[in-house]
Amino acid sequence: MASAHTVLVVEDDDNIAESMTYHLGRAGYRVLRAADGAHGLRLFRQQKPDLVILDLMLPEVDGWRFTQEIRRDDARVPLVMCSARTSEYDRVHGLEVGADDYISKPFSMRELLARVNAHLRRSERERAPEALGGVVEAGPLRVDPEQVQAFCDGRSVGLTPREFEVLHTLARSEGKPLSRTRLYRDVWGYEMVAGDRSVDVFVRKVRQKLARACPERTFVQTHYGVGYRFEMAGAHAGGDGDDDGGGAAATASG
């Protein structure tokens, strides 16, 4: 699988960049390297890599701006942030600006490779939407894996691929609560680390976009003490389903 994929590494620490390049190369990936954000953006636009790994604290163009720039060019390419900044704010903000994953330094190369492999498997699923299952329709909402998008009364909701996977995973289990750990495993492809807020961030983004597109309904509900569930009928907007569940709710392993 790996031999067909190109990974762009944007990292200004030579030792870390060399280690990533070595291990990714051994795994069969073609690796492009950039030591600053501006060079990374040029390589991204010229080479169209299959996945991007980037540091946050980069010269010229930092990781935040880099992410925003490439998301304007390409909403689908998997993007993994790696940073020594470990606060919850930084992790959540990284996901909110467009990263698919956030790894805190120091990390093992084995962990990095596992995440790279999982993200690229997810990209392959998007190119073969039949593997995701069929269309889910709930009143005005249509969740369409072939287009990797949701539509409300025929209008695109504007989901990113990762947001779509979160919604489609919930919709396929209509009425059944899914824990954060179960959602993370099904969507990201590996086990969730304790304290990771990725699921909450992406559920909140999905809800915000659905609220703009289908303001009369709230399809994604919080199931207190467990996680989230999708309801075909939807609740009236402004009810309990609007809670993002970011507190002490879901602890079940699903």
Is the distance from CB of 30 to CB of 99 less than 8 angstroms?
Answer: no
Q: Which residues lie below 8 Å from residue 26, measured CB to CB, with a gap of 6+?
A: none
Is residue 83 in some structural domain? Answer: yes
Asked which of 112, 127, 142 is the last residue of a domain, the reply is 127
Distance CA 194, CA 228 (A): 18
**Is residue 178 domain-shared with residue 70, that is, in the same domain?**
no
Asked which of 101, 127, 153 is the last residue of a domain, the reply is 127
- Residue 190: C-alpha distances to residues 108, 117, 167, 234 (Å): 15, 10, 18, 30
**Is residue 104 domain-shared with residue 211, that is, in the same domain?**
no
pLDDT digit string, tens, across residues 173-214: 988 999 999 999 898 887 888 778 889 999 999 999 999 999
**Is residue 171 domain-shared with residue 117, that is, in the same domain?**
no
Q: What count of other Cβ atoms lies within 10 Å of the Cβ of residue 86?
A: 10
State the pTM of this model: 0.72
**Is residue 33 domain-shared with residue 119, that is, in the same domain?**
yes
Token readout for 242 is 């609007």
Is residue 247 in some structural domain? Answer: no
Residue whose token pair is 């609220």 = 211
More confident residue, 125 or 135: 135
Is residue 173 in some structural domain? Answer: yes
Q: What percent of the chain has pLDDT over 90?
A: 58
**Is residue 205 domain-shared with residue 113, that is, in the same domain?**
no
Asked which of 127, 159, 185 is the last residue of a domain, the reply is 127
Is the distance from CB of 165 to CB of 122 less than 8 angstroms?
Answer: yes
More confident residue, 239 or 33: 33
pLDDT digit string, tens, across residues 65-116: 999 999 988 888 999 999 888 888 888 888 888 899 999 898 999 999 999 9
Please give the tally of structural domains in the chain.
2
Tell which residue, 176, 167, 155, 166, has the closest CA to residue 229.
176
**Is residue 52 domain-shared with residue 104, that is, in the same domain?**
yes
Is residue 253 in some structural domain? Answer: no
**Is residue 191 domain-shared with residue 227, that is, in the same domain?**
yes
Range of the domain at 50: 2-127
* Residue 88's CATH number: 3.40.50.2300
**Is residue 151 domain-shared with residue 79, that is, in the same domain?**
no
* pLDDT mean across residues, the chain: 86
Interstrand relation of 6-10 and 30-34 (parallel, antiparallel or unpaired): parallel
Token readout for 214 is 């289908």
Is residue 248 in some structural domain? Answer: no
